[in-house]
Structure 1
Amino acid sequence: MSQPQQGEKRKNDGKDRSRRRYRPDGTPVWGQKSMDGPGIWVTCVRNKEKSTVGELYDLFDSLASEMWPQQDSDKSKDEGDDDNEEDTDDDENIEAQIAKEVASMKRPRKEQRFVNCDTNTPCVVFISCKSPVDPVQLVLKHVENVMETGVSRTRFTQRLTPVSASCVANIPEIKSLCTRLLQPVLDEDPEKAYKYKVELRIRNHNTVQRMPLIEELAKCVPEKHTVDLESPELFILVEIFKSLCGISVVKDYYKLQKFNVMEIANAKNEETKFESGEGRLGERTSTP
């Protein structure tokens, strides 16, 4: 067998080094992920994926402006400064204004807070979230609004599943990510022993098996916390899609109907109709 040439050996060594990547804590990084996280997985009405993305852009931008207004206020301040400068003597500053406009055209665009990542899968949408947006807080805010008002502000969106971060869909990476996301939540109340459950959803993926993964994820949770499949207080949401895995840790998942805003809105509206009808019926039956 012929020996590899010296240049070929150096080339292969470089490839091996690029594959051998480690985090600051020493844990290895396996493979590459195909979509950016954090973000929000969305199920929607079939053949309405594009319409769903459009309505979610409007909804999420509106909520984010309320929850993280600093970014918008900074933008408005910059625009206001430009307006003040333009109020100066136009005749003296035409050349300066033209130069400013040219410079602004060359300036890179402000990064969008929400970006659609094409899944090429019916009924499934993924919206990537950029800082300072927290997808868990964003989804909770919207779900609570829908529960209170019965207004979903969307027509085709069904379930929203936030992921705080994502990784390659293999067990070592998933366990590492789960540990990193779980610890800050447990540290909020170190004395509390939670009842928890792993909520795992797998789509278009056949490498990682359900039960072995759930068993491995349970090992990431300290022993004082116990599994409860009926009435858990803490939920580890795990979404596996193709080669990507997204994870978040949430509370009140069952109470909030698994973040299915379409079902929440329908149930709230039916409840309102029933209460109104019951009141009218009571008035009629009390009349002699």
Structure 2
Amino acid sequence: MDKSKKRKSETSNGGPNPKKSKPWRVPKKGQPNYIAPSIEPGDSGIWATCEMGKEGKCTAELKDLFEEYAAKLYGGSEAQAEEASDIEAEIDIEAEIKKEVQGMKSKSTRKETLFQPVKVDIQCVLFFKTREPIEPVGFVRRICHDALEGATKKHRWVKRLTPMTMMGKATPEGLEKVAQSVLQAVFHAEGTPARKFAIRPTRRNHNVMKRDEIIKQIASAVGSGHSVDLKNYDYLILVDVYRNILGMSVVDSDFEQLKQFNLAEIYDPTPKPKAAEGNDAIPKTRRKSDMQASDAEKSPSIPDTQPSEDKEPRREATQ
């Protein structure tokens, strides 16, 4: 009995093997668990590509670039753009009081909502959710236009930017809903003249909706009053499908002039290959259609629906 009492006293006084109580972490009241942002139907945003393995650095570069242009285009600072958007919104007093109590009205949180990066499981691909007053197409076009006009390059890893006016479910019904919303102002507004258009779909981690099906459904949504012209279009319809979500936007005919919104190409254009002399020269018998096929494999964003330019009859081999 004396020994048992002695052991208890040694343990309680920090003996050779004291038992430590396990620290339990209790979440603070009013602080909800963090939920990673995701792409939802009705969102707008900007797809971006970057150098392999530089997704984190590219995200930081784009946040700085986007915030700079938000201040330039919408006046003052990003916080002012937030306030302008909040004035238009209907204020719920009880919700505002709860947010203040929970500490959810910090400036850092408000800034993140204007350009919110969303992690996707594809190498070299990023997505930024945007919200009003940001208009993705005009916003990206201005960035690329300034770059073409000689604006100082302030990023290293950014490549192509692809604006998405509206996101929806990657189903025929979802595509129809997005098309009705995005195409209305360009093709169906009262007094709209006949337009020439092209469609350029891109699919990532998606094999449910086929490329041809997407093109046919969008062409049907545009309507018979407009015509398809793959080279001299007035407007280009961009469609990006990622897993179970898709996005759409309509860009102007200067899309090619702006290097398809590829900032890397604008600042440092890839030199065009020159025909070598002597034995290394390209054979004259090589057809133009063969060259286009190889170029299409290198650039998956270029549609494979372009008509072949090969007008010469195929020559059969003679024995």
The partner residue of 2:48 within 36, 42, 64 is 42
The partner residue of 1:109 within 81, 106, 111 is 106
Q: Is the 8 A contact 2:187 2:222 kept in 1?
A: no
Question: Match of 2:214, as an amino acid?
Answer: L
Name the CA distance, whole Å, in 1 between partners of 2:121 and 2:244: 14
| Structure-2 change in CA distance of 1:232 and 1:47 (3 Å) | same
Name the CA distance, whole Å, in 2 between partners of 1:166 and 1:72: 24
Question: Match of 1:232, as an amino acid?
Answer: Y
Question: Match of 2:121, as an amino acid?
Answer: N
Give the SS at the match of 2:269: helix
Question: Match of 1:158, as an amino acid?
Answer: K
Quote the offset at 1:185 in angstroms: 2.2
| Structure-2 change in CA distance of 1:207 and 1:75 (3 Å) | closer
Q: Is the 8 A contact 1:44 1:157 kept in 2?
A: yes
Name the CA distance, whole Å, in 2 between partners of 1:108 and 1:73: 12
TM-score in terms of structure 2 length? 0.61
For the aligned residue pairs, the C-alpha RMSD in angstroms reads 2.6
CA deviations over 1:27-48 (Å, ceiling 9, x no partner): xxxxxx9514210000110000
The partner residue of 1:53 within 50, 59, 64 is 59
| Structure-2 change in CA distance of 1:73 and 1:267 (3 Å) | same
CA deviations over 1:232-284 (Å, ceiling 9, x no partner): 1101110001111011111122222111110011139x8xxxxxxxxxxxxxx
Q: Is the 8 A contact 2:197 2:237 kept in 1?
A: yes
TM-score in terms of structure 1 length? 0.68
Give the SS at the match of 1:220: helix
Name the CA distance, whole Å, in 1 between partners of 2:39 and 2:138: 21
Quote the offset at 1:180 in angstroms: 1.1
Instruction: Kindly tell me the number of residue pairs found equivalent between the two proteins.
Output: 212
Q: Which structure has the highest helix share of the two? A: 1
Give the SS at the match of 2:168: strand
Q: What percent identity do the matched residue pairs reach? A: 28
Quote the offset at 1:192 in angstroms: 2.1
| Structure-2 change in CA distance of 1:119 and 1:75 (3 Å) | closer
Give the SS at the match of 1:122: coil
CA deviations over 1:132-184 (Å, ceiling 9, x no partner): 11111110110001111064422111110000110111111112211211111
Aligned to 1:122: 123
Q: Is the 8 A contact 2:75 2:81 kept in 1?
A: no
Quote the offset at 1:188 in angstroms: 6.4
- Give the gaps of 5 or more residues in structure 1: 1-32, 78-102, 271-288
Question: Match of 1:108, as an amino acid?
Answer: K
Q: Is the 8 A contact 1:151 1:265 kept in 2?
A: no
Give the SS at the match of 2:175: helix
Aligned to 1:258: 260
Question: Match of 1:260, as an amino acid?
Answer: N
Q: Is the 8 A contact 2:201 2:214 kept in 1?
A: no
| Structure-2 change in CA distance of 1:233 and 1:205 (3 Å) | same
Aligned to 1:67: 73
For the pair shown, which has the larger CA radius of gyration, 1 or 2?
2
Aligned to 1:229: 230
Name the CA distance, whole Å, in 2 between partners of 1:221 and 1:189: 14
Name the CA distance, whole Å, in 1 between partners of 2:141 and 2:78: 21
1:153-232 pair list within 5 angstroms: 153-186=154-187, 190-232=191-233
Compare relative contact order (CA 8 Å, sep 6+) and give the higher one, 1 or 2: 1
- Give the gaps of 5 or more residues in structure 2: 1-36, 84-99, 272-319
Name the CA distance, whole Å, in 2 between partners of 1:196 and 1:121: 30
Name the CA distance, whole Å, in 1 between partners of 2:103 and 2:137: 35
| Structure-2 change in CA distance of 1:76 and 1:229 (3 Å) | closer
Give the SS at the match of 1:267: coil
CA deviations over 1:186-208 (Å, ceiling 9, x no partner): 35683421110111000111111
